[in-house]
Structure 1
């Protein structure tokens, strides 16, 4: 597992990119996010993930959130 920061994530389209500690960007799809219900990520959020070769390049899998937001998948509840 490696750590990174969410560069951006489009909830409507269900995908985005994570910036690895090496500086390289990795594609992330909502199906790769571990959690119940609506799975999304916030820009700037720290995550832990594995990397695999996908059909169009590197992609993240088994993505888990780190820190305070790790316990909530619904950001509306956090406010």
Structure 2
């Protein structure tokens, strides 16, 4: 599992990016969540796995963590 912070997330479009220290940003979609999708805000801390998606690295099994 990797961790990072939400760089931005658009709930209407269901996509955004996670900033991962020292690595490229990772795409987040509404399908990325391990459970039911939750509202994300800029700066939220998340954990996730990464797989090679259609447009590059994409988060899967994403969970929202408390700070």
Q: What TM-score do you get using the length of structure 2 for normalisation?
A: 0.88
**Which structure has more helix as a fraction of its residues?**
1
Higher-Rg member (1/2): 1
CA shift digits 1:3-30 (9 cap, x unpaired): 1000000000001000012242110001
Does the CA-based 8 Å contact 1:52-1:60 persist in structure 2?
yes
Name segments (4+ residues, structure 1) moved above 4 Å: none
The alignment partner of 1:39 has SS state of coil
- RMSD across aligned positions (CA): 1.4
**Which structure has more strand as a fraction of its residues?**
2
Aligned equivalent of 2:30: 30
CA separation in 1, counterparts of 2:29 and 2:47?
14
Higher RCO, Cα 8 Å, sep 6+? 2
